[in-house]
Amino acid sequence: MIEQDIPFWIAVPASVLLIMAGLLGLTGSVGLLRLNNFYRRIHAPTLGNTLGVACLLIASMLVNSYLASRPIVHEVLITLLLFTTSPVTAMLLMRAAVFRERTGKKS
Amino acid sequence: MTTLLIGSAYFAMLCCVAGMGLASVRLWRGPTAQDRVLALDAVYINGMMVVLIAGVLFGTILYFDIALLIALFGFVGSTALAKFLLRGEVIEP
């Protein structure tokens, strides 16, 4: 657990961002479970992938920068990695789905 | 104010674990193979978020490296599986 006392102006934005990140990730997974077609389902988790992770990383940067009392921007690396790799995965999966549907593979 | 932060971190962690559970249901049920790959990717992202929230909760930056590795492995795994579904083999000569 965090030992130090976090001041008001760090704790409130970080809490709001954390709650938003959790709700966005949950929304993406609910959409993944509930939508009824692969082409609809592929849209849902991208919400959690981009906006949820971005909120979480900003919250993490705020709290860790206060605790270390110097700016910590390591988390930008994860943002860059996810923002460059997640479209690649989505595009490959989409092409695989179109190819498999066209050639009539059912499973 | 630390209590507020810890409480919201626990809430976010609970949400992400619930998201992992829902994505695992899709991974189990998924009618086609590409659904399963998509669900595996969602499980990886949610697991990475859980590790990052643990990093916020314990106030260290050690968890950041683990999260980066999980994101990297998730990308490599999903891309390899999608390439396999597309072409029938992963690395082509």
> For the segment B51-74, what is each residue's pLDDT rounded down to a tens digit?
999 988 888 888 889 999 999 999
What's the total number of domains in chain A? 1
Structure tokens, B76: 């490599």
The partner residue sitting opposite B49, judged by closest CB among A21, A33, A96, is A21
| Per-residue pLDDT reduced to its tens digit, B7-57 | 999 999 999 999 999 999 999 987 888 899 999 999 999 999 999 999 888
A60 vs B86: CA distance, rounded Å: 37
Average pLDDT, chain B: 90
Distance from CA of A50 to the nearest CA of B (A): 10
What residues 48-77 of chain A have any CB closer than 8 A to a CB of chain B? Answer: 48-49, 52-53, 56-57, 59-60, 63-64, 67-68, 72, 74-75, 77
Cα B75 vs. chain centroid, distance in angstroms? 10
pLDDT(B83) > 80: yes
Q: Which domain holds residue A80?
A: 8-103
> How many A/B residue pairs have CB atoms within 8 Å?
189
Residue A71 in any domain: the answer is yes
Residue A1 in any domain: the answer is no
pLDDT(B87) > 90: no
Residue A69 in any domain: the answer is yes
B30 vs B24: CA distance, rounded Å: 10
**Does the predicted interface ipTM exceed a cut of 0.85?**
yes
User: Which of A23-32, A74-83, B13-22, B46-55 has the weakest average pLDDT?
Assistant: A74-83
Residue A36 in any domain: the answer is yes
pLDDT(A107) > 60: no
A22 vs A94: CA distance, rounded Å: 27
Strand residue runs (E) in B1-93: none
Residue A50 in any domain: the answer is yes
A74's CB contacts (< 8 A; 6+ apart) are B61, B64
Task: Give me the numbers of helices (H) and strands (E) for chain A, helices first please.
Answer: 5, 0
Rounded to two decimals, the pTM is 0.89
